[in-house]
Structures are given as structure tokens and as C-alpha cells.
Amino acid sequence: MSSHREAPSISQDPAADNADTYAFVSPDDPSTVTIITNYVPLEGPPGGPNFFEFGDDVLYSIYIDNDGDALPDITYQFQFNTKIRNEDTFLYNTGPIEKIDSLNWNKRQFYSVHVIHSHHKDNHERDGGGDLLGDNLACPPCNVGPRSTPNYDALAASAVHHIARDVTVFAGQRNDGFFVDLGAIFDLGDIRELQEHHVIPSAAGHSVDPLKTLNIHTIAIKVPISHLTRDHTMPSDPMSPGAVLGIWGGASRRKVQVRSENGKPSKGSGPWVQVSRLGNPLFNEVIVPVGDKDRWNAVDPSDDKGFEKYVNQPELAKLLPVLYPGVFPNLAAYSKDRADLHAILLTGIPSGVVPGFQNFTGPKPADMLRLNVAIPPTTSNPNALGLVGGDAAGFPNGRRVFDDIVSIELKAIAGATIPLVDPSFTPDGAVGLVSSYLEPGVDRFQSDFPYLGTPHDGYDTPSS
């Protein structure tokens, strides 16, 4: 998956597991950028009575680099606080939750938002630093079912908060927007539509999307573009270096946790230590080997040089010809470093590669989403294949919620993007067949903030 349970340590810590990061020019408000970071992957909708929530002991951060050095210039920090109205009941709610301040809602969560402007990463990890943009902001409840959360969309809408400095935020449960045939892809790289060609063949089938019935917890923020760019303007020239933002999310925990013997919450001490991060989807999941995944989560994008070797010679590119014998002969014979993937994932695509497009942040290799904010959103028939499909408003120019990441990255790793940097290479014919073979449903997303669709309720989606 994009980054759901992608590393050994963080797979044991869902509340801090950054599963997806999205960044795009808001299609309904193109003077702003929307950034989304998702946590608590693979939520089964009926998971009560203690339904899913953010960690009160986790520091959630969204980082923006606007000068190409892979260090955060702007950081938005989110910290959560759970409140219980009635400790004498086991119930999440004691009646229908019809409003966000309903007295029937027993276990509620609130959060604060700070912004930090600093060029030093250490400054971004201080507790309580920065400027407070909003406090005591309510999350919506989880979508329990028709008796408990009868008008969920209204509840969720009331949890969209307009806070200081023209910032809009939402934090709470949504439908997971990522789509992939998990069951097949982790069964030795199977693609059901192509499995008759697999080294362990079976009759061709149809891809299945298990995530379509699972929820996730979303932190979404919408910020005026001029608040994020280095010169505080709204760029109009896509070829301007100042038009590109580097964006990633991360979660940190205190270095020391002391548990109490009386059941009270544990107490943290010491500095914040990063336990999860994510820029480009699937980077840690598919590119980094298992022995280095925890380290990758712990370090910053500015320290990514040591991971270049995994991008230059990706394991999956070597596996595809083995798993699908005779299908990828040109890929199998290609031994050069993958300059195409290095550009897409670690530096951005420089000008001159794709006409009229660049999202280059400089030579420093770093895993960040790179969003060229001078490229307007595609509001009519956007192509889920993004730049590969001729739609420069999509991945790897940032990432929209509906972008078909699995198809894009599978095609790229299979060799579709090598000719951009090495015209002597001819992609194998099978590259055109490599795909997620999934079409997310129309209710998976919504057209306005926070763009991810209504989470499934536990009554109507009892098993998943």
C-alpha cells in the first residue's frame, strides 16, 4: 500500500503510521493548496466501542520546504486531546450524535494547530513552539451507524474549521482514498488480470480493492499559496523555481514514556522522535528494503542520500522480469541507474524533460512530494494517471486523492519513464498492460474540502 504498515516498527503503531500524503492546488479554490496526511490505516468501520482516533501522545506534522534544501521552512503541527463526558458507561455514545457538540457523544477528540516558520529542523520539534492558529478544535465522531450518527455528512462538515491566517483544517475519519489489490500484489507481485503470465500461473481474474470499505484518519489543511511560497507570492510561471514546494508529513513520539501502575495514561518525557514520515507514495513500502525501513522513517528527507541506491537500482524492477518470465526482456537487460526514478522521487523533474513542466527542487536528493503551484488544477476530466497520462496537475506533480498511484508507479518502475532520460531505451510492450485495474467508486472522494469521501459506517459495513 502507499505506506500502510510499511515498516516493521510503525506497523505496530497505527496511530502514528503516516499512510498517505497528498498535496494539490485546491480544485475549487485554486489560490490555495490542500495538504492531507492520513493515519490509522485499515480501520474496520465496526471497530467499537473505542472507535479509532488520533494519538494524544503523538505530534503530527506537515512540512513544507520552499527553497529546495529539503529542510522545512514552514511546519504545521497538530496535537490531540481526548475528553470523556461520562466515565460510568462503556458506550462511545449514549444516544444519537446529531450535532458535533451533542451531549450524547461520550468520547470526543479535540486538537490544536501551530505553525512554525524556521529553517532549522530542531525548531520544528519543540513542544508548544510556533504560533497558535487554532485550539480546542473538534474532530467529528467516527461513523458508527444510522442510529448513532444519522447525518454523518453534516457532522463532518461542522468539523471543518476556519482558523487564523486564512487556514482551513479538518481532522477526523474518512474513507481511505488509496486503491490497490492488496491481496494480489503481496501474493508475490500478482496482478490478477495478468496472472496467467505469472511464474506461478493461474487463470486471469479481476482485481479486488479491499480498501474501498476501510476507513482512515485524515488531517487536512488548506492554506493560501502565497503563505507557502518563498517570496510570498502566487506564482504564475510553471518554469519558475519558486513555484515548486517540497511537502511531506511526519509523526513523532516522545523519547521516553513512563507508564503508570494505576491505568492512567502514560506520560511522555524528552524530545520528540520521528517514528513515521511520507512524501512520495510507496517510497518506503516498495523502494526501501525491510532492513532499512525503520531507519528511513526516523530520518529526515535531507538525510535521504543514503537511500539513493535503492531508487537507482530498484528491487521491483529486477523482480518483474522474474515474476513474469519473458514479458519484460528490455527491462531485464537494462542495468543503468534509473535516472528517471531518481528525478521523479528524489529531485523533481527538471525543465526540458517534459515540455512546459518542471518540479525540480535542486540536486539534493530527498523524498518529498513536489508540487508546482503555478500549474492550475485540472477541473474537467482529470486523468488519474497524472503526468504519465498527460495531466500535469497530477502525480508526480504533488498528488491528488484520486491519482492512480499503483498504475503510475508500476508503469514507471517497469520502464515507461526511462525514455524521458534515456531515448535509447524502448519500453516493453507489457508496460501498457501493467495497471492497478481498479476504478474507485464515485463516492470514494468528494469535490470539496477535505476531498476524501464519507467514511463507511460500521452498521452498513460490518465486515471488511
* Residues making contact with another protein (CB under 8 A): 256, 258, 269
Work out how close the CB of 294 gets to another protein at its nearest, in angstroms, rounded to a whole number: 18
Work out how close the CB of 258 gets to another protein at its nearest, in angstroms, rounded to a whole number: 6
> CB-wise, 260 or 463, nearer to another protein?
260
> CB-wise, 188 or 256, nearer to another protein?
256
State how far the Cα of 311 lies from the Cα of 309, in Å rounded to an integer.
5
Q: CB of 113 within 8 A of CB of 137?
A: yes
> CB-wise, 256 or 322, nearer to another protein?
256
Work out how close the CB of 9 gets to another protein at its nearest, in angstroms, rounded to a whole number: 16
Give the helix/strand (H/E) hosting 449: none
> CB-wise, 258 or 290, nearer to another protein?
258
Helix (H, G, I), strand (E, B) or coil at 138: strand
> CB-wise, 84 or 258, nearer to another protein?
258
Q: CB of 402 within 8 A of CB of 379?
A: no
Cell representation of residue 257: 514514556
Of 386, 427, 390, the residue nearest 408 (C-alpha): 386
Helix (H, G, I), strand (E, B) or coil at 241: helix
Work out how close the CB of 180 gets to another protein at its nearest, in angstroms, rounded to a whole number: 38
> CB-wise, 268 or 350, nearer to another protein?
268
Work out how close the CB of 254 gets to another protein at its nearest, in angstroms, rounded to a whole number: 12
> CB-wise, 29 or 57, nearer to another protein?
57
Work out how close the CB of 17 gets to another protein at its nearest, in angstroms, rounded to a whole number: 24
Beta bridge partners of 20: 38
224: left (phi over 0), alpha (psi -120 to 50) or beta: beta
Work out how close the CB of 233 gets to another protein at its nearest, in angstroms, rounded to a whole number: 41
Beta strands in 10-91 (DSSP E): 20-25, 32-43, 58-65, 74-84
In this structure, the strands spanning 107-117 and 131-138 are: antiparallel
Beta strands in 44-90 (DSSP E): 58-65, 74-84
Of 168, 179, 219, 311, the residue nearest 17 (C-alpha): 219
